[in-house]
Amino acid sequence: MKDRPITHFYQQMLFLRWAAYNRRLFSHPPYLLRQGKGSFVIGFRGVSKHITCCFTKTGDIMICADYRNTNFDIICEFDLFEERTPEGRWLCSLCRDHPNPDKIEPLIKYEDHKELWIEHSFAPLAAWTRESFTRNAVLCLYRSGGMTWAAIEQGPNLKKNTESRNLFKKFPVLTTR
């Protein structure tokens, strides 16, 4: 029997269930903000409303900086472009076709579709929240000419970058403890 393509929004159902069961992995628990036909957006409790995470049906997972009801920039990505091998295993074709030169470990092929999503994208997203959503972190919005960008600054970069002439807005990342 030939495998049928996944036609429902598998990632949304899987992420919401996994995140609810694994709340402790996130520094601040995610919650559903809105959903559309091919995407859904989450926020994080106690984190600035200017920081959201958008998932698309095609496999994009983007941490976004929003300003004035517009996506200002993408801060970080956890994209996954799934592919099933002839042997029935699962991999991210983006990792296979465009490997990160800094990544030394081999391409991982997962036995289970669910495991691919969790290990490749959901768990790293949760780890990123623990690193980025800290008490001293600041969301900085920059612009220069026609370019705009956003970053979560903390530690040694915070003082240097908040003095940049390109900085035009900054928000604390955490809104509550």
Could you report the per-residue pLDDT of 18-71, keeping only the tens digit for each? Answer: 999 999 999 999 999 999 888 999 999 999 999 999 999 999 999 999 999 999
In whole angstroms, what is the distance from residue 167 CA to residue 163 CA? Answer: 7
Q: Is residue 54 part of a domain?
A: yes
Q: Is residue 155 part of a domain?
A: no
**Domain region containing 45:** 10-134
Q: What is the pTM of this model?
A: 0.90
Q: Is residue 27 part of a domain?
A: yes
Q: Is residue 96 part of a domain?
A: yes
The single-letter DSSP state of residue 107 is P
Q: Is residue 60 part of a domain?
A: yes
| Cβ proximity of 139 and 157 under 8 Å | no
Number of structural domains (the chain) is 1
pLDDT tens figures, 62-113? 999 999 999 999 999 999 999 999 999 999 998 888 877 776 667 889 999 9
Q: Is residue 173 part of a domain?
A: no
